[in-house]
Amino acid sequence: MANLEAKHLFAYNRFPDNELKKLLVVAYFPFGVILLLLRSVLALFLVIFGQVLPDTQVTQNFLYNLACICFGITVSVDNLKQKENVSVYIGNYLSILDHLAVSKALGFILPLNKTPLQSLPGLGITNLGSINNADSFKKNLEVVLKNKNTSVYLCPEETPTNGRALLKFNSKYFEFFEKVQPVCITVKRPLDIAISTIGSTYINDVLYFMYAPFTNYTIKLLPSLEKKSISTDGFSEIVRENIASELKITASPLSASDLLEWSKRYLAEERRRAQERTNQLSNSFSSASNPELVRMAAQVKEVLPHVPVGTIYNDLNVTRSIDTTITNILEGRIRFVPETPRPSSPTPSTSQQPSTSGCTSSSTPSRQGACTSSTQFNTGASTFGKSANERTKSIKERKEQLIAAARRRYIEKHNLDIPV
Ligand SMILES: *[C@@H]1O[C@H](CO)[C@@H](O)[C@H](O)[C@H]1NC(C)=O
Ligand SMILES: *[C@@H]1O[C@H](CO)[C@@H](O)[C@H](O)[C@H]1NC(C)=O
Ligand SMILES: *[C@@H]1O[C@H](CO)[C@@H](O)[C@H](O)[C@H]1NC(C)=O
Ligand SMILES: *[C@@H]1O[C@H](CO)[C@@H](O)[C@H](O)[C@H]1NC(C)=O
CATH number (domain holding residue 311): 1.10.8.10
Work out the angle at residue 4's Cα, subtended by the Cα atoms of residues 189 and 218, and round it to the nearest 5 degrees: 30
Does the beta carbon of 314 lie inside 6 Å of ligand 4?
Answer: yes
217 alpha carbon, closest ligand: 3
Q: What is the pLDDT of residue 70?
A: 92
Same domain (yes/no): 203, 227: yes
| Ligand 3 centroid – CA 220 distance (Å) | 13
Q: How far apart are CA 292 and CA 289, in angstroms?
A: 9
In a domain, 1, yes or no: no
In a domain, 317, yes or no: yes
Q: How far apart are CA 139 and CA 176, in angstroms?
A: 10
Q: How far apart are CA 95 and CA 93, in angstroms?
A: 6
Distances in whole angstroms, Cα of residue 229 to Cα of each of 175, 226, 235, 238, 278: 12, 9, 9, 13, 60
In a domain, 132, yes or no: yes
Same domain (yes/no): 118, 136: yes
Same domain (yes/no): 287, 381: no
Q: Which atom of ligand 3 is nearest to the CA of 190?
A: 14
In a domain, 355, yes or no: no
Q: What is the pLDDT of residue 293?
A: 85
Q: How far apart are CA 100 and CA 90, in angstroms?
A: 14
Q: What is the pLDDT of residue 373?
A: 40
Q: How far apart are CA 126 and CA 47, in angstroms?
A: 17
| Ligand 1 centroid – CA 127 distance (Å) | 23
Residue nearest to atom 4 of ligand 3 (CA): 218
Same domain (yes/no): 56, 95: yes
Distances in whole angstroms, Cα of residue 106 to Cα of each of 14, 77, 296, 410: 30, 9, 61, 68
Q: How far apart are CA 188 and CA 209, in angstroms?
A: 11
- Phi, psi at 216, each rounded to 5°: -100, 115
83 alpha carbon, closest ligand: 1
Closest CA to 346 of 128, 173, 197: 197
Same domain (yes/no): 97, 234: yes
Does the beta carbon of 290 lie inside 6 Å of ligand 4?
Answer: no
Residue nearest to atom 5 of ligand 3 (CA): 218
Same domain (yes/no): 141, 46: yes
Same domain (yes/no): 164, 240: yes
Q: What is the pLDDT of residue 363?
A: 39
Domain finish residue from 340, 355, 378: 340
Domain finish residue from 280, 308, 340: 340
Same domain (yes/no): 29, 52: yes
Residue nearest to atom 2 of ligand 4 (CA): 317
Q: Which atom of ligand 3 is nearest to the CA of 216?
A: 1
Residue nearest to atom 6 of ligand 3 (CA): 76
In a domain, 419, yes or no: yes
Same domain (yes/no): 162, 234: yes
| Ligand 4 centroid – CA 319 distance (Å) | 11
287: left (phi over 0), alpha (psi -120 to 50) or beta: beta
Closest CA to 302 of 396, 387, 402, 382: 382
Q: What is the pLDDT of residue 342?
A: 57
Residue nearest to atom 8 of ligand 3 (CA): 76
Residue numbers of the domain that contains 385: 364-420
Distances in whole angstroms, Cα of residue 309 to Cα of each of 160, 189, 274, 359, 402: 39, 40, 14, 17, 21
Asked whether 128 and 89 are in contact (CB, 8 A), the reply is: no
Closest CA to 175 of 88, 92, 109, 248: 88
In a domain, 347, yes or no: no
Query: pTM of the full predicted structure?
Result: 0.65
Asked whether 116 and 206 are in contact (CB, 8 A), the reply is: yes
Residue nearest to atom 10 of ligand 3 (CA): 216
Closest CA to 236 of 88, 387, 49, 78: 88
Q: What is the pLDDT of residue 284?
A: 63
Q: What is the CA radius of gyration of the chain?
A: 28
| Ligand 1 centroid – CA 150 distance (Å) | 9
In a domain, 382, yes or no: yes
Please list every protein residue whose CB sits less than 6 Å from any atom of ligand 3.
74, 76, 216, 218
87 alpha carbon, closest ligand: 1
User: Under 8 Å CB-to-CB from 8, ≥6 apart: which residues?
Assistant: 164, 165
User: Under 8 Å CB-to-CB from 307, ≥6 apart: which residues?
Assistant: 300, 301, 329, 336, 338, 339, 372, 376
Same domain (yes/no): 329, 399: no
Number of domains the chain contains: 3
Q: Each residue's pLDDT tens digit in the chain (420 positions)?
A: 457 888 888 888 888 888 888 888 889 999 999 999 999 999 999 999 888 888 788 888 888 899 999 999 999 998 888 888 888 899 999 999 999 999 888 888 888 888 888 878 777 787 777 778 888 888 888 888 887 778 889 999 988 998 888 999 988 888 888 889 999 999 999 888 889 888 888 889 999 999 999 999 999 999 999 888 888 889 999 999 999 999 999 888 888 999 899 899 999 988 888 888 887 777 666 555 677 888 888 888 888 888 888 888 889 888 888 888 888 888 888 888 887 765 544 444 444 444 433 344 333 444 444 444 444 444 444 444 445 555 556 666 766 776 676 667 656 666 666 555
| Ligand 3 centroid – CA 216 distance (Å) | 6
In a domain, 357, yes or no: no
Same domain (yes/no): 308, 160: no
Same domain (yes/no): 115, 39: yes
Asked whether 189 and 195 are in contact (CB, 8 A), the reply is: yes
